[in-house]
Structure 1
Amino acid sequence: MEENNGKQKISRRTALKYMGLGAAVIPASIYLGGCGRKSKDSGQIVPDLTNIPTDKMTYTTLSKTGDRISLLGFGTMRYPTVERQTPEGVRNFIDEEKAEQLIDYAMAHGINYFDTAWMYHQGESEIVTGKLLKKYPRNSFYIATKMPGSVRSREDAIATYQKQREKLQVDYIDYYHLHSLSSDERYERIYKEWGILDYLLNEKKEGRIRNLGWSFHGNQELFDKVLNEPVDWDFVMIQMNYFDWKHGRVPAEYMYNRLVEKNIPVMIMEPLLGSRLAKVSRAVSDMMQEERPNDTPAQWAFRFVGSHPQVMVVLSGMTYMEHLQENIKTYSPIVPVTEPQKDMLVKAADIIRTYKIIPCTDCKYCVPCPYGVDIPGVLLYYNKATWDSNLPNLEGPRDAEFQRASRAFLVDYNRTIPELERANHCINCGECEPTCPQNIKIPTDLLNIDNLVQQLKAV
């Protein structure tokens, strides 16, 4: 092993075992529960998972190729995983049995759009998705994947694209993305200097790509630049939810309205903002329950994005059957939000904005960390402590409430994050920061969290 500033650097193969842990920190407790009632612990509404319809899914026909697409799309970035021992150590692999149960249930309940990417689950997602969909007629589903920004040359980009069709076991890809555009320099290099945009446009002409578009995580200047290219874009995927509508890096309201002007169908990612909108504060929950007493916060978030007429599909990475069932029920059929309800959600976003939350969506683009830190797990734990009022105020009085919150924070931190994966193992190498689509200053936040932990231990 290499040594660096006193920290042991593990191999990339060994680091892969840390993938998948962060997702378990928050979402499972959010969704699990009974039928349309308040949780005794949190006062949150839990979903009614009875009578999930098989024939009432909402569909859109905005696609320029005339596709009839389920409003709810299945994102494969968060397949359930299982640990297995390998010659290189313990690794997380997709749990194919559970993934197959989810895919089969989705298909049986009207979902026909499946989204994957080269980098999801270290390249395993495309393989498993292709395998699980192979048993269905090719015209019964639509599949999307993406050109990764990590390609090293024109030849590498072309080989990657060709390999994707092989992994997916398809002759054509229904929806192909220029993935996660966030850097003008990278966009210019890959798609202009290397000619990959022209190559993909020719693939579309030849029928191996049916629809070509892009997913976005950059600034407004880059958004406008790509949108105004002399290309007949078939779709654009943006991060949109009722919080990012006004408060996103580029407000979703701006991007959505620009796409409406261009008559370009809109795909939605992060409708729950990485689960941040699935569990809300008491103030926000009370506002929601006054309007619709039986709707969960997640249902409010999905109804908001699905109510916009230019939205073609809303993607959700559904790890658990309960996630899938709730989302299917929300869109079977959708009950659009009213204008007064939209105003209420704008007020809710303003309240949420006051919370000290790290904008991590658990996408895992930042891992594996070469030093073993479970980056999303640590960041999501901090957010959970904030939601649960277990974040001690070091500037306030050292009273009984401070002691309670301090103990709860440390006990749950030690229980949730394994010792070798905690924030104190970050050496500020910076490898994670450029990959974060939310532009989080990850090393800074990890340092702040570790400083908090160390101060609480010293109290």
Structure 2
Amino acid sequence: MRYRELGKTGLQVSEIGFGGEWMDGTPEATRAVVERAHDAGINILDVWMPDPVRRSNLGDALRDLDLRERWVIQGHLGSTWQGEQYVRTRDLVHVKPAFEDLLARFHTDYMDLGMIHYVDQVAEFEQIMAGPFMEYVRELQGSATVRHVGLSTHNPQVAKLAAAEPAIEMILFSVNPAFDMMPATENLDDLFGEAGEQSAVDGMTPERAELYALCEQTGTGITVMKGYMGGRLFDAKTSPFGVALTPVQCLEYALTRPAVASVMVGFTTPEHVDEAVAYETASADERDYVRVLAGAPRHAYVGQCTYCGHCAPCPSGIDIATVNKFYDLATMYDDVPDSLREHYRALGATAASCVACRACESRCPFGVKIADKMARAAELFGC
């Protein structure tokens, strides 16, 4: 298992994470999944679910296996259990006991990441940050009951506000090749509706490209939800691209986005853990989502670099994919951030080394004019 630093939190998390949503079976079944995940090196768990069965199943498994201190837990604030059903709320009368219940069921006195739960409206984000809900979050952080503060959202506009807010250190955000082409929305259902197929031919939305750039600049870590688009990307009939991707290919896409540290995968059996962890030993061909999307009947990646690396090798030794990533990030700003400029210069062979042989262009699945882009990068960075 490979590990990545989660933004500026200082936490090292496994690039394959555990979304605990489906752990509503028997305690024994949950323990088997937790044990398999731990043996595979997974060390981050997202717990947004308020119901006592899943909380207790997971909390008891971690306690019985003596794993609590080895795991980074994303515990959500604002996800409550009322009248035997899930209710998302900002009312502290319900928020506080729900969070205290989470701590109790996990047999712990802290959450590594206290997640402001499911904020998809800009107005709601602004209300939270200026109101008693955020005061409560600060109290929890001040007492070390919450070690770091995060926020979950599906809306890139809200995610950008969170990334620019110093009090929020990381975000849980939905990332997959289909969602990256969908416009910002305050309604989660829109992401799975008829707009999905049209989005596949519209191209990546600027809000999402800007979000990744901002997170990279501010050191805001990203953990990923819905990396498989709810399983729709595994079936050509339900994929907006008209072709099927594998779990490994979806993981590769998410983990090559800027600022992404880990993908939360929903498991129900130990075998599901094995399928996701197969990413760690997968070959380059098995990870290659590009060859699938390039031949898809519906996609708008033509002319866009996805940082896949198919352009290599460069006779001048340029890491073309990384140069393109830094260039795309830099163009999101009026002035190139000093940190980004230094990362670029540290590459050694920069875009200025390009001799415009264009051999790389014949290998690019999406027809990117790489030599022209290298020239623009050299001009922008000054070397």
In the TM superposition, residue 274 of structure 1 has moved relative to its aligned partner by 0.1
Aligned equivalents of 2:232, 2:115: Cα separation in 1: 26
Determine whether 1:310 maps to 2:240: no
Q: Give the match for residue 55 of structure 2.
A: 126
Which among 161, 164, 180 is matched to residue 102 of structure 2? 164
State the TM-score, normalizing by the size of structure 1.
0.52
Aligned equivalents of 1:311, 1:343: Cα separation in 2: 19
Aligned equivalents of 1:126, 1:138: Cα separation in 2: 14
Aligned equivalents of 2:9, 2:239: Cα separation in 1: 44
Q: Give the match for residue 14 of structure 2.
A: 70
In the TM superposition, residue 233 of structure 1 has moved relative to its aligned partner by 2.0
What do the CA deviations read for 1:319-338 (whole angstroms, capped 9, x no partner)? 23332111111124785999
Aligned equivalents of 1:246, 1:346: Cα separation in 2: 13
Aligned equivalents of 1:141, 1:76: Cα separation in 2: 13
Q: Give the match for residue 265 of structure 1.
A: 221
In the TM superposition, residue 309 of structure 1 has moved relative to its aligned partner by 4.9
Q: Is the 8 A contact 1:113 1:141 kept in 2?
A: yes
Identity across matched positions, percent: 18
* Number of aligned residue pairs: 270
Determine whether 1:114 maps to 2:45: yes
Residues 74-113 of structure 1: pairs in structure 2 closer than 5 A: 74-79=18-23, 81=24, 94-113=25-44
Residues 320-339 of structure 1: pairs in structure 2 closer than 5 A: 320-332=269-281
Q: Give the match for residue 74 of structure 2.
A: 144
Which among 236, 246, 254 is matched to residue 171 of structure 2? 236
Aligned equivalents of 2:283, 2:130: Cα separation in 1: 41
* Structure 1 unpaired stretches of 5+: 1-56, 82-93, 289-295, 354-459
What do the CA deviations read for 1:426-456 (whole angstroms, capped 9, x no partner)? xxxxxxxxxxxxxxxxxxxxxxxxxxxxxxx
Aligned equivalents of 2:254, 2:227: Cα separation in 1: 7
CA 1:77/1:61 → structure 2, altered by over 3 Å: closer, same or farther?
same
In the TM superposition, residue 118 of structure 1 has moved relative to its aligned partner by 3.8
Determine whether 1:278 maps to 2:234: yes
Structure 2 counterpart SS, 1:77: helix
In the TM superposition, residue 196 of structure 1 has moved relative to its aligned partner by 1.6
Aligned equivalents of 1:238, 1:116: Cα separation in 2: 14
CA 1:223/1:261 → structure 2, altered by over 3 Å: closer, same or farther?
same
Aligned equivalents of 1:151, 1:312: Cα separation in 2: 28
CA 1:248/1:188 → structure 2, altered by over 3 Å: closer, same or farther?
closer
Q: Read off the aligned partner of 2:270 and give its amino acid letter.
A: M
What do the CA deviations read for 1:123-151 (whole angstroms, capped 9, x no partner)? 42222211110122432111111112623
In the TM superposition, residue 96 of structure 1 has moved relative to its aligned partner by 1.9
Bigger RCO of structures 1 and 2 (CA < 8 A, at least 6 apart): 1
In the TM superposition, residue 307 of structure 1 has moved relative to its aligned partner by 2.5
Which among 297, 318, 322 is matched to residue 246 of structure 2? 297
Q: Is the 8 A contact 2:7 2:222 kept in 1?
A: no
In the TM superposition, residue 210 of structure 1 has moved relative to its aligned partner by 1.2
In the TM superposition, residue 175 of structure 1 has moved relative to its aligned partner by 1.1
In the TM superposition, residue 115 of structure 1 has moved relative to its aligned partner by 1.1
Q: Is the 8 A contact 1:307 1:337 kept in 2?
A: no
In the TM superposition, residue 271 of structure 1 has moved relative to its aligned partner by 0.7
Residues 439-454 of structure 1: pairs in structure 2 closer than 5 A: none
* Structure 2 unpaired stretches of 5+: 80-87, 186-204, 301-383
In the TM superposition, residue 302 of structure 1 has moved relative to its aligned partner by 1.0
Q: Is the 8 A contact 1:183 1:218 kept in 2?
A: yes
Aligned equivalents of 1:157, 1:283: Cα separation in 2: 37
Aligned equivalents of 2:285, 2:167: Cα separation in 1: 30
Q: Read off the aligned partner of 2:31 and give its amino acid letter.
A: E
CA 1:125/1:162 → structure 2, altered by over 3 Å: closer, same or farther?
same
Q: Is the 8 A contact 1:63 1:234 kept in 2?
A: yes
CA 1:192/1:350 → structure 2, altered by over 3 Å: closer, same or farther?
farther
Aligned equivalents of 1:304, 1:192: Cα separation in 2: 35
Determine whether 1:59 maps to 2:15: no
CA 1:109/1:152 → structure 2, altered by over 3 Å: closer, same or farther?
closer
Aligned equivalents of 1:137, 1:263: Cα separation in 2: 28
Structure 2 counterpart SS, 1:207: coil
Aligned equivalents of 2:278, 2:109: Cα separation in 1: 33
Residues 2-17 of structure 1: pairs in structure 2 closer than 5 A: none
Aligned equivalents of 1:282, 1:152: Cα separation in 2: 35
